[in-house]
Amino acid sequence: MTAPKSLSPDTLAAQGLGWITQPHHDIAPAIHPASTFERAGDGSYPGGRVYSRDQSPAYDQAEALLAALEGGHQALLFPSGMAAATALLQALEPGARVLAPRAMYWALRNWLIELSARGHIAVEFYDNADTAGLTMALDALRPRLLWIETPANPTWEVTDIAAACAAARRYGTLVAVDSTVPTPVLTRPLALGADFVMHSATKYLNGHSDVVAGALVCREDTPTWQRARQNRALGGAVLGPFEAWLLLRGMRTLYPRVRQASASALAIARAFERDPRVAAVLYPGLPSHPGHAVAAAQMQGGFGGMLALRVAGGEGAAIAAAGRLQVFKRATSLGSVESLVEHRASVEGPGSLCPPDLLRLSVGIEAVEDLIADLDQALG
Ligand SMILES: *Cc1c(COP(=O)(O)O)cnc(C)c1O
């Protein structure tokens, strides 16, 4: 049933691995809502499944596809990105030291701090873009897990995944990469040495702002991975079958969506890079970005659909500009077909490390001229 290994990931995604559903030879899969499966008279389970909490057939195709796209051993779907990250954190030994980046998805950063305060883990932070500092922190702390997010919310700092993994390996530190923003289209962390990839599948993998889901992928089967599996099966945080079906539907167009968003984000970054109304454009695709060289080496075919504008005139000017946007919709989240803008500091609230003049842009697949014209009028 699985397509030949030599097919490009674009083809695997577009065809959902080429799976055909029996008995009608469906090109699009059926939705599998069954919670339970028939037991034969002799006590066996002819369908090979007992109960859907830990064995839902609704996940098979999307999980197999994501594992193939990431080049991993196995993938697991979760009911949110946060649930996926939590399942991995709960697979660590109690009190395990976790080294996480200073700039990262805000809710996950807060959750790490909370779990640390409760004694489940012990979190420490490193500067995302400082490989030498990260190596020193690994040497000093010998953490159980290194967490990487690159490019990282909301300033798009870049971490050198291969260098970080090489340093982590010296201390037996596991490496997990939140690859929500680059997606397997642009970066394949497992090939760079990471042990786990985590996705908020709510974002690019689904791509249509209509599913909340998450995923973990492992490079190989390990006791830590088995515990993460158990955390889903016994912890019971599972995705619904309709959401899994929608997610697979979204993943079929992942490659053209991400490529279009990346090309448009680069065009927008270039259009406003020297605009006096903009104090700075933060985008790894610009040669002026401090992480450009590393990003160019570890990202293939684009730098992603996320960027930030620091508006000249400060916080008030940034909020006013966001208020004038018409094509960009003011909303949190990212990675969908429609473009979104967010004044990140006010969403993150007290303690936010985000510059107050920063507008985060998630570039969709609309005509890029419309997006540039909208930003141009909004900047006044
Ligand atoms: C949205 C997001 C998350 C959290 O995922 P949910 O699906 O909202 O739980 C984690 N990391 C990144 C980079 C995200 O953008």
* pLDDT tens digits for range 202-249: 999 999 999 999 999 999 999 999 999 999 999 999 999 999 999 999
Residue 71 and residue 58 in one domain: yes
Residue 178 is among the residues annotated as catalytic for this protein: yes
Smallest CA separation from ligand 1 atom 8, residue:
81
CATH of residue 91's domain is 3.40.640.10
Domain assignment present for residue 3? The answer is no
C-alpha 204 to ligand 1 mean position (Å): 10
The whole-number average pLDDT for the span 353-376 is: 97
The whole-number average pLDDT for the span 129-134 is: 97
Residue 331 and residue 318 in one domain: yes
pLDDT digits (tens, 9 = 90+) for 167-201: 999 999 999 999 999 999 999 999 999 999 999 99
Residue 213 buriedness (CB in 10 A; 0-12 / 13-18 / 19+): buried
| Domain closes at, from 225, 251, 277 | 251
Q: Which residues line ligand 1 (CB under 6 A)?
A: 80-82, 105, 108, 149, 153, 178, 180-181, 200, 202-203, 212, 214, 334
| Domain closes at, from 251, 271, 291 | 251
CATH of residue 343's domain is 3.90.1150.10
Is pLDDT above 70 for 300? yes
- What band does 322 get if pLDDT is binned at 50, 70 and 90? very high
Is pLDDT above 60 for 4? no
| For the CA of 84, the nearest atom of ligand 1 | 9
- 97, 188, 203, 257: the catalytic one is 203
Residue 215 and residue 354 in one domain: no
Q: Characterize the bridge pairing of strands 278-282 and 306-311.
A: antiparallel
Residue 99 and residue 180 in one domain: yes
pLDDT at site 6: 86
- What band does 5 get if pLDDT is binned at 50, 70 and 90? low
pLDDT digits (tens, 9 = 90+) for 325-341: 999 999 999 999 999 99
C-alpha 16 to ligand 1 mean position (Å): 23
Residue 191 and residue 202 in one domain: yes
Residue 105 is among the residues annotated as catalytic for this protein: yes
Q: What is the 3-state secondary structure (H, E, C) of 258-304?
A: HHHHHHHHHHHHHHHCCCCCEEEEECCCCCCCCCHHHHHHHCCCCCC
pLDDT at site 351: 85
pLDDT at site 279: 98
Q: Identify the domain containing residue 174 by its residue range.
A: 9-251
Domain assignment present for residue 25? The answer is yes
Residue 58 and residue 125 in one domain: yes
| Domain closes at, from 235, 251, 267 | 251
Amino acid at 275: D
Domain assignment present for residue 297? The answer is yes
DSSP string of 316-376? HHHHHHHHH-SSSEE-S---SSS-EEEEHHHHH-TT--S-TTEEEEE--SS-HHHHHHHHH
Measured over the CA atoms of residue 242, residue 12, residue 305 and residue 108, the dihedral's sign is: positive
Domain total of the chain? 2
| Nearest residue to 63 (alpha-carbon basis) of 52, 53, 75, 73 | 75
Residue 372 and residue 266 in one domain: yes
Residue 284 and residue 166 in one domain: no
- 59, 105, 204, 255: the catalytic one is 105
Residue 24 and residue 54 in one domain: yes
Domain assignment present for residue 1? The answer is no
pLDDT digits (tens, 9 = 90+) for 280-293: 999 999 999 999 99
pLDDT at site 54: 86
Residue 203 is among the residues annotated as catalytic for this protein: yes
Q: How far apart are CA 203 and CA 373, in angstroms?
A: 25
Residue 203 and residue 281 in one domain: no
Domain assignment present for residue 37? The answer is yes
Percent share of the chain, pLDDT over 90: 96
Residue 45 is among the residues annotated as catalytic for this protein: no
| Nearest residue to 76 (alpha-carbon basis) of 277, 237, 206 | 237
Is pLDDT above 90 for 359? yes
Residue 316 buriedness (CB in 10 A; 0-12 / 13-18 / 19+): exposed
Residue 126 and residue 160 in one domain: yes
Is pLDDT above 80 for 2? no
Residue 236 and residue 319 in one domain: no
- Average pLDDT over the chain, rounded to an integer: 96
- Say how far residue 85 (Cα) sits from the centre of its chain: 11
| For the CA of 213, the nearest atom of ligand 1 | 7
